[in-house]
Each structure stands twice: as C-alpha cells, then as structure tokens.
Amino acid sequence: MSRILVLGGGVAGLATGLLLARDGHDVELWERDAEAAPGSFEEAWETWERPGVKQFRQPHSLQARVRATLERELPDVYEAFVAAGAARLDPIDRLPASIADRARRPGDERLVALTGRRPTVEAIFARIAQAQAGLRIRRGHAAIGLSARTDNGTQRVTGVLTESGVREFDLVVDAMGRSSPLPSWLRDVGAAPLLEESEDSGFAYYTRFFRSRDDAVPELRTNLLTPVGSFSILTLPGDRNTWSVTLYAAAGDAPLKAFRHVDRWENVVRACPLHSHWLEGEPISDMTIMAGVLDRRRRLMNEGRMVATGVVLVADSWACTNPSLARGLALGLDHVARLRDIVRDHAGSPTDLAHAWDDVTETEFTPWYAATIATDRARLAEIGAWRRGEVPAAPEDEEAAIRARLPLAAMRDATAYRALAEMIACLALPNEIFSRDEVVEAIVETTEPAERLPLAGPDRAELLELLA
C-alpha cells in the first residue's frame, strides 16, 4: 500500500482517487475550491461555484469511450449517471437517410455514448468519492510547492509544501488541470525543465444552454459538430432534458465576435436548417464565452532524461486540447485508469514507475494529442480560405485528400459512417481507421476528388449580413 496525494478535485482527480483507493492505497485528495457538491443536480447547475475549473459551465460531451471506461472501471458511477438522467446517444439511430444499408452490425453497441452537463457529472463523482473508504477529500486545501531530494542526479519528489509545513507522500498525482503550476514547482526544487509544447487552438466559443419545455429534446438531424464555412455549430444533448448550442469561429475573426450578442447569435442558428430547432427550448444560461484555449502537452521525460520521479501528470495536467472534439474526459478517464495499473505494478520503485508511466502515456495517449493538433490546424486553414472568399482546396497529398473525403462518404456508405463515428467516439485513431482497406474503398467508390459536403448554413457573405 502506498500513501498517495492527488492534487485537484475535478472529474479526473476524483476518478484517480477512487481507482487508487479501491486498489488498496491510502489516498488523500486536495481541492483548492472550498465548496462541496450541492445536494441536488439543479443546485449543482445553478449555484455550485468552481472558480478553479474555467470550463465548468461550458459545453461538455462525453464520448462513447467515457461510457466504456465507466462501465469497466467505475460501474457505480455509470449507474448513478444513468439514474441522473444522462442523455443516451446512439449514432446508428441517426444513420443518414441517404444510406441504404441500415442493418445493425456486431460492435455497434461500442458507439453508444452517455452524456450530460459538467456540473452533474462532477457532482456524481464527488458524492461517490466522498463515501469511498481509503480516500480522504480535503476541500479548500492546496499545496504551494513540492518537497524533493536528489536521487542519482534526478529530483525525487517526496511530498508537498503547505502553509503549515511539509507533507510527505510516496506519490504525488497532478490532476490540477489546464492551469497546473507543476512546472514552476519543479523548477523551485531544482529539477531540469520538463518538456512543454503549446499553441493557441485558435478558436472562440459562444454558447447558450436550454431546457425542454415539454420533456422532448431536439432531434439530431446531423452530427453533433458541423463545420459551416467560416464557423462551426456544436449541438450537445445534456442530462435531464437539457442541451447546449455553441457557435465557434477563429478567435481573430473580428466580424464574428458579434456572436456574443444573443439576437445575432440566434439569427445565425436559425439560418442553419439542420439546427434551427435547437432554439425551441427555455434558455437556462446567458451567453457564455470562452477563448484563449491552449492545445498543450507536458512530459517529465526531456531529451532522454527523466526530470523528476515521485510525481505524475494525468488528464488535462498532462495534455489539454480544443474542447469541441470532446476528447478531454474520454482520454482523461482512461489515462487515470492506466495510472492505477502502473502504480499496481511499480509502486515499490519511483524510477520504474516514472518510466513505465511515460511509456504508457507516449504510446497510448500522445497519438491522440497529435491527431487533435492536426485537426485544429486543418480546420483553421479551411476557415482562412472561407474568410478570403475561397472554397478550400483539397489537400495536394493523395492520401490526405482521400482522408478529407470521409465525412462526405459517411453520408452515403454505412462502413464509412461507422468509421467516422469510431473516430469521433475516441475509439480509433485516424491512422487506424485509414489503414482499413474497406474504409478507403468506401471513400473512393462513393465520392469524387473534387466533391465537398454542401454548406449546412449561410455562406460567408450571408453570415456577415446576418451579423450586421
């Protein structure tokens, strides 16, 4: 049994605490924000203050990979989520009418997702974690630095600093999220710089939340995320007959900053025929705006040298990406489950644990980060073309051009549709999807190189008129 400290009480931190405590470790979890989860899910939405979580009341979607991880690793959390009114999303239920082959196939159940609002999800985790034996949660409590000693030329983290002194632990888990101060803490104890790479994802998000007036939620008539020329629209069902609608665009696109005005935002949503019915609910939020979102990755292995042992980074503390792809919790929950496995195998050796954790993270999770960066850059390039009044050109590379036609093929072919659904659900990386002969054949047979999906809303000129 190890004495483990988890820093950060968001969803990933709570999941880490639960999994490690259930594996027999003595776990403390410290969360800087003092307020505990309220007694009801409506209170969680309306009054729970989480200043340490910037995206707490921003749109969230839980991909099918989240459901699979919860069913496998935390079935009590899964059952509580179902009981709380989570929305069930089955992409096979919304096969495009243009696809003739509508029969279900073995494995389709993997694509089913359960989703809900972030306050509901975190409140469920918090309630279950609070009652977990071997896990002590201290809210309103924070570390201010690390304690460490030199071990064979590497800093071995032995605990944390607090206002009242030093607390020692066998392992410190950084689950403090996007704003984690760990890099500066490591510098303060003399560790070499960790590897860090980051870039602004380049997007600004404008969101309103709604509740059904009659217990009926809007029909999904296309994908949850739909690019529409120089902007995108994101429609996300939530728990208890709620949903969110988001318009997002390049952060530097000055005319589109008018999305912040509710009347003009509604003008644009109404001009999208597959999405306008999402406005037919009772608004339950003001316009919420988010920008300056980083795609960022950190690694404790730098230039072949381990920067520190005795500490690990999980979920958003390790890597955070553009939230519109909803990969944060999908990867984060799986990431902390794999940490449980690594601690189980290497708890007795901080050095072995550090190297094993780096190997797992780089092999199983970093490819998802790289794929997200590529997607963001490609979308920003498309947006740039539309802003210049151009139709985005197909990629010059033949393989990339074929990949770019998958969304169009998914409107016509059942195999291509499932391939796209797998990728969206975080169940298969793009490289895996496009290594399948049947997927490439479906794309080539059902689409032409110069074809594009028709715009699902206003073109650039029409958009600017709607915002004038």
The domain spanning residue 48 has which CATH number? 3.50.50.60
Q: Specify whether 288 is located in the same domain as 300.
A: no
pLDDT band at 351 (very low <50, low <70, confident <90, very high): very high
Tell me which of 3-7, 15-19, 21-25, 398-402 is least confident: 398-402
Number of domains in the chain: 3
What is the predicted pLDDT for the residue at 151?
A: 87
Provide the H-helix boundaries in 111-235: 118-130, 182-188
Q: Specify whether 266 is located in the same domain as 369.
A: no
pLDDT band at 201 (very low <50, low <70, confident <90, very high): confident
Boundary of a domain, candidates 314, 339, 374: 374
Q: Specify whether 37 is located in the same domain as 134.
A: yes
Residues 283-322: tens digit of each pLDDT: 999 999 999 888 999 999 999 999 999 999 999 999 998 8
pLDDT band at 394 (very low <50, low <70, confident <90, very high): confident
C-alpha span between 210 and 227 (Å, rounded):
22
Q: Specify whether 320 is located in the same domain as 347.
A: yes
C-alpha span between 29 and 33 (Å, rounded):
12
> At residue 265, what is the residue type?
W
Per DSSP, the residues of 175-204 read: --GGG--HHHHHHHTTPPPPEEEEEE--EE
What is the predicted pLDDT for the residue at 52?
A: 85
- Give domain status of residue 360, yes or no: yes
Q: Specify whether 231 is located in the same domain as 341.
A: no
- Give domain status of residue 152, yes or no: no
127, burial (CB in 10 Å: exposed 0-12, middle 13-18, buried 19+): middle
Quick check: 397 pLDDT over 90?
no
- Give domain status of residue 80, yes or no: yes
Q: Specify whether 116 is located in the same domain as 103.
A: yes
pLDDT more than 90, % of the chain: 89
Do 63 and 327 contact (CB within 8 A), yes or no?
Answer: yes
Q: Specify whether 131 is located in the same domain as 49.
A: yes
Domain interval for residue 440: 398-446
- Give domain status of residue 267, yes or no: yes
Quick check: 58 pLDDT over 90?
no
Q: Specify whether 260 is located in the same domain as 348.
A: no
Q: Specify whether 119 is located in the same domain as 233.
A: no
